[in-house]
Copies of this chain bind each other. A is one copy, B any other.
């Protein structure tokens, strides 16, 4: 059994803890949080502590903390030459204090506070300095049911950036769609099957091939009509214009 100690108490820490409970190859030996009350409810399930000097020996230490905290917390850990990983999309592996064996264990997914996450839908991007450590991290990820991929810091950085586009920005488009439909008291729920189909479509088709609509067709009648509808919403209009332009550049209609 691979012994794991989780440090941190945010969404990622919580979801990892729950996922490890189901693993038969790795288990959480101890859970550290600066604020003990955030993990108190789990004290029957694992040992909890808010004291760095009481952290035990384990095969793997997972820093599921904010980006800014990785460097300092890893330096403060009162041991060395053990495998310490962070879970961040944008922090370089070398931000972990060099007294440790270092790695990254980045779950590329959006975690909600309450909803349970099925880790078969959580790809883990793995990086390690030593190949031995890489193999241990891979074993741990597989034991959670996750697909895994070797990803270096540069690649992880662009994946994290791309994730902002396909997750945060996409969600904002849903929000703008919500606002637009509500402006005429139209039911946003009518758009939900379309939203899901749009996401599913690219499972088997590239986004390039999946594109349709007035921007791609350069259907000027519709484009003019839409811009007119957005006349009293300048920011929505700016988004409409910029993404229309982006689509037309992608599909060869326009130059930058």
Contacts and interface: CB of A to CB of B under 8 A. Distances in A.
Interface of A: 67-68, 90, 108-110, 112, 121-123, 125, 149, 151, 154-159, 161-178, 180-181, 183-188, 190-203, 205-208, 210-216, 219, 221-222, 225-226, 229-230, 234-235, 238-240, 242-243, 245-247, 249-250, 256
Nearest to A89: B222
A237 to B, nearest CB: 11
Considering residues A166, A215, A222, which has the most beta carbons from chain B within 10 angstroms of its beta carbon? A166
A110 B194 contact: yes
A238 B168 CA distance: 15
The complex is assembled from copies of this chain, and their number is 2
Contact of A190 (B149, B197, B226, B243): B149
A202 B167 CA distance: 12
Contacts of A171: 198, 201-202, 207, 210-212
A191 B68 contact: no
A108 B199 CA distance: 15
Nearest to A225: B90
Contacts of A155: 181, 184-186
Contacts of A201: 110, 112, 171
Nearest to A178: B207
B202 A125 contact: no
A158 B170 contact: no
B235 A246 contact: yes
A242 B238 contact: yes
Contacts of A68: 221
A161 to B, nearest CB: 5
A216 B168 contact: yes
A191 B166 contact: yes
A193 B122 contact: yes
Given A161-B226, A167-B194, A239-B246, 7 more contacts: A155-B181, A159-B181, A169-B247, A170-B198, A196-B200, A199-B199, A235-B245
